[in-house]
Amino acid sequence: MSEKRAHEYEVTFKYLKDNKGETVDQEPAAFTFQNHDNVFKIIDILTEKGLFKEKEQTLQFAIGLKLFGDILMKNRDMELFSDLQPAFVQFMKKLKGKSSLTYYNK
């Protein structure tokens, strides 16, 4: 049996300033994760589609969605996610499909 291959990523989340504009001395949160998708390719596709006006929103959306979706799928049997699972599947179909979503660069 062959081993499943996955892309491996590292995420670092650094607290820069608080809501008063003060610099915060907080150790960054960092972790690695694996995913079957090339997340950078997904970012490129979403950027080309022009789903968001700002590049940062595209990055936040793509990375957040991949992280959340992965946790949701790995824990699909948890009661916490039971109501969300069907809606997430529909959301992903809509996002991947040729639906009439409003795009900003079309």
What pTM value is reported for the model?
Answer: 0.81
Candidates 37, 5, 85; CA nearest to 46 is 37
Structural domains of the chain, ranges and CATH numbers in brackets: 7-96 (3.10.20.850)
Helix, strand, coil distribution of the chain in percent, nearest 5: 45, 15, 40
Candidates 24, 26, 28, 32; CA nearest to 14 is 28
Name every residue whose Cβ is closer than 8 Å to that of residue 34 and which is 6 or more positions away in sequence. Answer: 6, 7, 8, 9
Cβ atoms of 84 and 72 within 8 Å: the answer is yes
> Tens of pLDDT along 10-28?
999 999 999 999 999 999 9
> Tens of pLDDT along 54-100?
999 999 999 999 999 999 999 999 999 999 999 999 999 999 885 55
